[in-house]
Structure 1
Amino acid sequence: MSERSGTDDPEPFEPGPAVPLFVPVRPGPAGCATGWTTRFFRTPLGDRTAVGFTSAHRLAATLGDGQHWIRLSEPALRALGTPLGVTVLTVDPQLTAQAPGRALSAAAGAAADGARRAGPYPRSGPTAATRCGR
């Protein structure tokens, strides 16, 4: 039986160094002044998942250039989701879908624009995104 030296490879399930992920965030409950809140998503089966990206480019390609983000390590992101019952972490998701209310066809969007212009109330003014500096 041969002796093992101290330079052997680590166990396959030992955690490696924590590499920070690019994590999508949104303004907190009271707006941008109070900080940011981590965004959680749903898997195709409907389970909640934390999401992180390995680069800002991948985050922007999936969620858009206007998506705010912070850098968090994987253990920190998991720790934020645990109290909410989020146990799944998805890294670099490639497919996303818009919320059902946002997925309008071009014709439906044009009809909605016409209805907005004809309404009795003005639709102008700053939005939450404008107030937050986006």
Structure 2
Amino acid sequence: MCLFQYEEDPEPEERIPAGLLYVPVRPGDAAAAVIRLFRTPLGARTAVGFTRRERLVSTLGAGQGYIRLSESVLRELCDPLGAALITIDPMLSAPAAVATTRRPDRVAARTA
């Protein structure tokens, strides 16, 4: 039983198991699938799980592959990879960053 309830509390006192999650994966070697890891807005590595397939599709697209894992198994698999955080049902995903090269011929002119 939760002792206190705060409307703005981002994390409940007691964690309720989410059941099996839809975990995004990418193709790996041979027939293996590799869990996709993401970054939080502050740059920390995180694994992502969705409670419903529809949420995964609305966030990452219909072509995104997935596997079903419990939160504890997901945490156990991702912790050695440096992803100690698990994000459940994120609402949006930013596109992957594209590397750009600076072009010295396009340096902005400074005016006084």
TM-score, normalisation: structure 2: 0.71
Change over 3 Å in CA distance of 1:45–1:17 after alignment to 2? closer
- Shift, 1:67, TM fit: 0.1
> 49, 54, 61: which one pairs with 1:52?
49
SS in 2 for 1:60: helix
- Shift, 1:101, TM fit: 2.2
Poorly superposed stretches of 4+, deviation over 4 Å: 9-12, 15-18
SS in 2 for 1:101: coil
Aligned equivalent of 2:23: 23
Determine the C-alpha separation between the residues in 2 that align with 1:19 and 1:43: 23
- Shift, 1:34, TM fit: 2.9
- Shift, 1:16, TM fit: 4.9
Q: How many pairs align?
A: 90
Does residue 93 (structure 1) correspond to residue 90 (structure 2)? The answer is yes
Determine the C-alpha separation between the residues in 2 that align with 1:35 and 1:98: 24
The unaligned stretches of length 5 or more in structure 2 are: 4-12, 100-112
- Shift, 1:100, TM fit: 2.3
- Shift, 1:95, TM fit: 1.8
* Bigger radius of gyration: 1
SS in 1 for 2:98: helix
The code of the aligned residue for 2:80 comes to P
TM-score, normalisation: structure 1: 0.60
Determine the C-alpha separation between the residues in 2 that align with 1:82 and 1:58: 24
Equivalent pair of 1:18/1:75 in contact (CA under 8 Å):
no
Determine the C-alpha separation between the residues in 2 that align with 1:17 and 1:97: 27
- Shift, 1:10, TM fit: 8.9
The unaligned stretches of length 5 or more in structure 1 are: 1-8, 103-134
SS in 1 for 2:90: coil
Determine the C-alpha separation between the residues in 2 that align with 1:70 and 1:83: 19
More helix by share: 1
Name the Cα RMSD after superposition.
2.1
Change over 3 Å in CA distance of 1:25–1:96 after alignment to 2? same
